[in-house]
Amino acid sequence: MVEDPVCAKEVDSEHAACKSEHRGRTYYFCSLQCKQLFDSEPSAYIVP
């Protein structure tokens, strides 16, 4: 399981609704809405 960086829900990476790549890392999301929020401003959701 991985954490959805937008809403902090646990997401199964093999069955995630959506995913997005950013700077060579893949992020998984529970919904398209979370992916769209992330894609609009990835740095707001990534904890360094």
Minimum CB–partner distance for residue 14 and Zn ion (Å):
16
Give pairs for 27-30: CB < 8 Å, separation 24+: 27/2, 28/2, 28/4, 29/4, 29/5, 30/4
Minimum CB distance to Zn ion smaller for 2 or for 7: 7
Minimum CB distance to Zn ion smaller for 35 or for 48: 35
Interacting residues with Zn ion (CB under 5 A):
4, 6-7, 30, 34
Distance CA 13, CA 3 (A): 9
Minimum CB–partner distance for residue 10 and Zn ion (Å):
10
